[in-house]
Amino acid sequence: MSRLFGKIRVLNDREMSLLHEGALRILERVGMKVYHAGAREYLKSVGCRVDANSLIVKFPPEAVQAAVDEMRSDFGSPRREGLRQAIRFTESSYFTRPDELQHDFTVNSGGFNAFIFDLQGNRRTADGADVRDSLKLVNALEEITWSGLPCADQSIPHPLRPVKMAAELIKHTNKIGGIEAWAPLDIEYLQQIALVVRGSQAELQRRPCLVGYGESRTPLALDENMAEIFIEYVRRGMPQSLDTMPSAGTTAPASGAGTLAVGLAETLAGLVLGKAVRTDAVLSIDATPGYCDMKNLIFPYAGAERMPLLGGWIQMLREFYGITAGAHGGKTNSCLPGFQAGMEKAHSILFPLLCGASGIGTIGQIEFGITYSPLQMVLDAEVVRATKRILQGFEVNEHTLALELIEKVGPEGNFMAEEHTAEHFREEFWLSELTECDPWEAFSKKQVRGMEKLAEEKARAILAAPLEPVLSSEQIAEIDRIVAHAEKKILGQ
């Protein structure tokens, strides 16, 4: 089949250069407030100016540019060939041309949500059964490529939750995505669990999994805990980016350009830090920019105004910096599955991909990304299926033109019974289990009708099946041993 090609461009070349130069100016003149003493020393070692009293670190443009040049080179290096690494809400892959749409884009679920909007229509805190049920859906929905935990068991003590939930994730799915790390000590146990699955340290280095991330405190600050998490992952050779979420109108200027400039400055600071910690570090840059809702000061993940902002960010990463770019898409501001959620989900999945995104995540969420919905997960997967068909396009050649067939059938003929129709309709037509295309007479006779009800039925059928472990009994026993040790250490028992 032919595929759609070319991308939507939000920014011209001059605008991209202005954004990069703006980020360099912010880092040189304003700097970042870095609370971690070790991080300040690392940054000082590569030429940054450190004020010990204010904790402000200012970055010479040449130091930032050197790190950017290394990152660009690294993404094109033959030593990275074939690496496909799940990170946060997308995938870091190499050897992707900046001028191509990513038809094999990845889709992540996850979110570590505290709340679930269950199939009975109740919004409540998630428990262990909800976690395991969410992984049933992850396994059954082929549209999902990678997954963290769609929800997290709130009965687990907060300090132990990342380790316990990582164990659940890795026991029950092969689609192992990123995981939360809330403290540096978590990383030791997360990597021990990952080692059980990968089998050797060399294989874990080659195919990292259960990787968390550090995140800046917008605007322009890096706290002690997040810095330590970021540094510890880099020391271990795990891929990292310092993620940031500038919110236009609150933690960033109310303009899209100013918001992107702040986000760029923050994540570029992480790039410099990572290279200072380890020269061969696997690093990228990333941000999740958004516009604050001035009615309630919420950070909305959807909305028409956010789509160009996402597209501009994707374009900066793909075209200007020459690296893979995923998008925090598949989101809705709605508290319920329904028309608003469907519209916002479709926009925030399709538009970033048309701008060149290589991955989308995280699906299955409502309410600004804080509540997991199994119904929405099934509906989102159908949006992904539709998006893949849109990007597939159609092929034009001698066979698909079917000129001889048209001559044979002739005026007022019918192509229904032709072999050509049987040969092509399954690959050309989008055949959906959930969307409806019935006349009223047929629609009104159905016992289950409406896309939401059909998706609910599909979710119930998936959840009725047992959840099979994907590891051996020996591996499960070893993971349980690691978790038990972590519980004693973390909780001091």
DSSP letter for each residue of 338-370: SHHHHHHHHHHHHHHHHTT-SEEEEESEEGGGT
CA nearest to 67, candidates 18, 11, 27: 27
Contact predicate 275/48, CB 8 Å: no
| CA of residue 198 relative to chain centroid, distance | 22
| CA of residue 345 relative to chain centroid, distance | 14
Domains of the chain, each with CATH number or no CATH: 13-392 (3.20.20.480), 406-453 (no CATH)
- Residue 85 parent element (H or E): strand 84-87
- Residue 109 parent element (H or E): strand 106-109
pLDDT at position 292, please? 92
pLDDT at position 93, please? 46
- pTM for the full model? 0.93
Q: What single-letter amino acid sits at 341?
A: A
Contact predicate 333/377, CB 8 Å: no
Q: Positive or negative CA dihedral for 150, 263, 302, 323?
A: negative
Q: What is the largest CA-CA distance in the chain?
A: 85
**d(C-alpha 10, C-alpha 308), whole Å:** 6
Which residues are CB-contacts of 184 (< 8 A; sequence separation ≥ 6)? 225, 228, 229, 232
Contact predicate 194/222, CB 8 Å: no
Strand 49-50 versus strand 56-58 pairing type: antiparallel
SS3 108: strand
Question: How high is the mean pLDDT in each 10-residue block of the chain (493 residues)?
Answer: 79 98 98 98 98 97 97 78 58 53 89 97 98 97 95 97 96 93 95 95 89 94 97 94 95 97 98 97 92 90 92 94 89 94 95 92 92 98 95 91 95 93 90 89 86 95 92 96 95 77
Give whole-number Cα distances, 242 to 146, 310, 343, in Å: 20, 17, 30
CA nearest to 376, candidates 262, 462, 459: 459
**d(C-alpha 253, C-alpha 232), whole Å:** 32
Which residues are CB-contacts of 67 (< 8 A; sequence separation ≥ 6)? 268, 271, 272, 274, 275, 283
End-to-end Cα spacing for the chain = 60
Contact predicate 176/169, CB 8 Å: yes
DSSP for 211-229 reads ---EE-BTTTEE-HHHHHH
pLDDT at position 91, please? 52
Task: List the beta bridge partners of residue 108.
Answer: 146, 361
φ, ψ at 131 (rounded to 5°)? -60, -50
**d(C-alpha 340, C-alpha 349), whole Å:** 14
Task: List the beta bridge partners of residue 329.
Answer: none
**d(C-alpha 399, C-alpha 450), whole Å:** 38
Percent of the chain residues topping a pLDDT of 70: 95
pLDDT at position 95, please? 44
pLDDT at position 172, please? 96
